[in-house]
Amino acid sequence: MILNASGGIEVVATAQGAQAVEVIRRERPDVVLLDIRMPDVDGLTVLRQIQELPAPPHVAMLTTFDTDEYVLTALRSGASGFLLKDTEPEQLAQLVRTLAAGGVVMSPKASRALLRGHPGAGAPQDADVARVGLLSERERDVLVLVASGLSNADIGTRLHLSAGTVKDHVSSILTKLRVTSRVQAALLAERAGLLGRGGDDATRGDG
């Protein structure tokens, strides 16, 4: 009801558990909101099956988080983010649009809990976080905006860069951080403390 009432968004289907993959294959949505826990099959199984589809949709996991220990696995399995089930209705439509544009969506409250809930995840000197030091200043600017959920086009507008240049920066970031998705890069940015940076220093325009 919330999404259908929002301009530019059409809910093409809803499905339970095991039916979800077939419905997604038939309807070919741009975005899927997937419950991480369902009655007959867990969301991680459905997520892996979705990722095997040709041109899979962007998937965000829905979670209560206080009892879900599977969020990291979901992100590593290709999810584009995670949302708490109590996300404010007025925020939900914007988050779906962000997903459709290729951005990352992560509930700030949930991401903080994720770091607290996994011992060592916030250690500033672990090997994964140390790789953030390999990034150039411009790549760090791009990473901060990736972690804020912006698409390549939005990042380009913010930094006065072409979409192709942003894409090249993102590819370089993923390679240097040894991760395979924007969400994994965003988590490293948070662990490295980059998300406490102000936005003003990420507006310099160069190639």
What is the per-residue pLDDT for 114? Answer: 60
The mean predicted confidence, pLDDT, of the chain is: 81
**Alpha-carbon distances of 61 from 44, 104, 132, 201, rounded to whole Å:** 9, 12, 26, 31
List pLDDT tens digits, range 113-171.
565 555 444 444 466 777 888 889 999 999 999 988 888 999 999 999 999 999 999 99
List pLDDT tens digits, range 161-197.
999 999 999 999 999 998 888 888 888 888 888 876 5
Range scoring the smallest mean pLDDT among 16-30, 85-99, 167-181: 85-99
Rounded mean pLDDT, 89-110:
80
List pLDDT tens digits, range 31-67.
999 988 887 888 888 999 999 998 899 999 888 765 5
List pLDDT tens digits, range 70-88.
677 777 788 888 888 888 8
8 A C-beta contact, residue 138 and residue 158: no
DSSP 99: H
* C-alpha 159: how far from chain center: 20
The one-letter amino acid code at 95 reads L
**What order of strands is seen across the sheet that includes strand 31-35?**
31-35, 58-63, 81-84, 105-106
**C-beta neighbour count of 65 within 10 angstroms:** 22
Q: Between these two residues, 39 and 100, which has the higher pLDDT value?
A: 100
The one-letter amino acid code at 31 reads V
CA 118 – CA 19 distance, rounded (Å): 32
CA 61 – CA 2 distance, rounded (Å): 18
8 A C-beta contact, residue 36 and residue 61: yes
What is the per-residue pLDDT for 113? Answer: 56
DSSP 57: P
Write out the E strands in the chain.
31-35, 58-63, 81-84, 105-106
What is the per-residue pLDDT for 4? Answer: 85
